Amino acid sequence: MSNSMLHVEDLTVSYGAIKALQGISFDVNKGEIITLIGSNGAGKTTTLHSISNIIKKSSGKVIFKGEDITNSKPDTIVKSGLVHVPEGRRVFSNMSVMENLEMGAYTRKDKENVRSDYEWVFELFPRLKERSKQLAGTLSGGEQQMLAMGRALMSKPDLLLLDEPSMGLAPILVDEIFAIIQKINKQGTTILLVEQNAFKALKIADHGYILETGFIIKSGEAKKIASDPAIKKAYLGG
Question: pLDDT value at position 174?
Answer: 92
pLDDT in tens, 146-200: 999 999 999 999 999 999 999 989 888 999 999 999 999 999 999 999 998 898 9
Greatest C-alpha distance within the chain: 51
Cβ burial of 56 (10 Å; 0-12, 13-18, 19+) is exposed
The whole model's pTM is what?
0.93
pLDDT in tens, 79-124: 999 999 988 778 999 999 999 999 988 877 787 788 889 999 999 9
Domains with residue ranges and CATH for the chain:
1-81+195-238 (3.40.50.300)
CA-CA distance, 45 to 89, in Å (whole number)? 14
Nearest-CA neighbor of 148 among 201, 97, 75? 97
